[in-house]
Amino acid sequence: MNILMTSWRDRKNPAAGGAEVLTHEIARRLNDRGHKITLITGRFPGGKEQDDDDGVRILRPAYFSPTNAISYVRWISFLLATLVTYKREEAGIDVVIEHVHGLPMLISVFAKKPVFLFPHEVANDIWFMEVPFPGNVLGFVLERVYLSLFRNFPFLVNSPSTAADVRAHGIKRIFTITPGISKPPRTLQPKNPRPTFIVLGRITPMKRLQAVVDGVSKLGNRQVLLHIVGGGKPRPVQNLVLYVRKTGMSGQVRFHGFVGEKRKFDLLSQSWALLSTSLREGWGINVLEAASVGTPTIAYRVPGIRDSVVNGKTGILVSPNSAALASALQTFMRDQKLRESLSRNARSHSQKFTWDRTTDEFLKAIATVRTKTKEHTPLHY
């Protein structure tokens, strides 16, 4: 097949996250299996207009930046450039996968080829944490509009939580594509004798990392160490650094910024548990990455994370407040048998999740719909 994908970002973009990793891991495996893959995405400083990434053809027709994604001229010009690029490519395309982060790129409205929408999460209240007014209100409304208008399209989703979110908007044809993880290094670092926890991912308001700092602070234990791995825009990073200082935790919190794969797995394997206080996630690839090196997760019970963490087996899920987090941390630190059990189970559970399996599920979903449907119109496939 000749498959065209659209996404606001690709994995080389400095703002890339787990969704972009998933997109790339599927795309490169499709390429390895003989399919031709083209990804139309946003350009970024230093990014080439045309690129190749593990055999995946990358087209970046215009700049796109989340800081002006909702309300400014550059957003509109980016969408127009994307549409023009798509139309130039359309003749040779068999199927279109429109990756959605908050809002779609609207290729699905104009495409004359079969289209699948792939929302990596339904943003819902994330709009009000990540986007300033009036863009937050506009995004919140438009997300509901597109889910209603496109309810006859087939949807790919990455977790049962996202499936439930889109099903609530009347969407019937939903296929869950479970993310995989990359294999960790063969040589792992031993657990730190000092109680050590880690946060892994971009620093943004929706991650609510102040709650992690509060939870660790409530322990009142100066031996506890917290690694914060990942970067973000200057303001949220600076706000978090200032908050750590304000709470008197500077001596216990280490900021690492973005790190390479080896360093990431070193820090994960040294840590006792991964901590997550996100408002919601599509899935939580970092949960399985941590699990693959025997590091369980202690997290807020929220959409996405409640799918990737098996409560009481591969981690601990708590009510979304720092007091509940602190209580779980205290229990976890005191009970060595619990830590060892969660670690073993997490590592065993993680081995089920491979990118080859993810790619198999992706191809099965496409084949299922294509064999049942002969015709496509812009809003009904």
Same domain, 267 and 224: yes
User: What b/e string do you get for 148-181 counting C-beta neighbours within 10 Å, with b at 16 or more?
Assistant: eebbebbbbbbbbbbbebbeeeebebbbbbbbbb
pLDDT of residue 65: 65
User: Which domain, by its residues, includes 167?
Assistant: 2-180+355-372
What is the value of pTM for the model shown?
Answer: 0.91
Query: Is 86 part of any domain?
Result: yes
Are residues 152 and 18 part of one domain? yes
27 with 176, same domain: the answer is: yes
Same domain assignment for residues 83 and 114: yes
**pLDDT tens digits, 292-326:** 999 999 999 999 999 999 999 999 999 999 999 99
Phi and psi of 143, rounded to 5°?
Answer: -60, -40
Do 27 and 94 belong together in one domain?
yes
Does residue 378 lie in a domain region?
no
* Whether residues 227 and 152 fall in one domain: no
**Is residue 10 in some structural domain?**
yes
Task: Look at residue 146 and tell me if it is in a domain.
Answer: yes
Determine which of 72-76, 96-100, 124-128, 219-223 has the lowest per-residue pLDDT on average.
72-76
Same domain, 367 and 244: no
More confidently predicted of 253 and 73 = 253
Could you read off the pLDDT of 98-118 as tens digits, one per residue?
A: 999 989 998 988 999 999 999
Report strand pairing: 50-53 vs 56-59. Answer: antiparallel
Average pLDDT, the chain: 93
- We report the CATH number of the domain holding residue 258 as 3.40.50.2000
Q: Report, as an integer, the average pLDDT of 207-231.
A: 97
228 and 361 fall within a common domain: no
In this structure, is residue 191 part of a structural domain?
Answer: no
Tell me: pLDDT of 381 over 50: no
Question: Which 8-state DSSP code applies to residue 2?
Answer: E
Residue 186 domain-assigned (yes or no) = no
Q: Are residues 242 and 108 in the same domain?
A: no
Q: Within a domain: residue 379?
A: no
Same domain, 157 and 46: yes
Judgement on whether residues 247 and 162 belong to the same structural domain of the protein: no
One domain, residues 284 and 363: no
Tell me the C-alpha distance between 103 and 239, whole Å: 27
The number of folded domains in the chain is 2
Angle between helices 261-270 and 285-292 (to 10 degrees): 70
The pLDDT > 90 percentage for the chain reads 84
**pLDDT category, 371, cuts 50, 70, 90?**
low
φ, ψ of residue 95 in degrees (nearest 5): -155, 150
What is the token pair recorded at 267? 């820090």
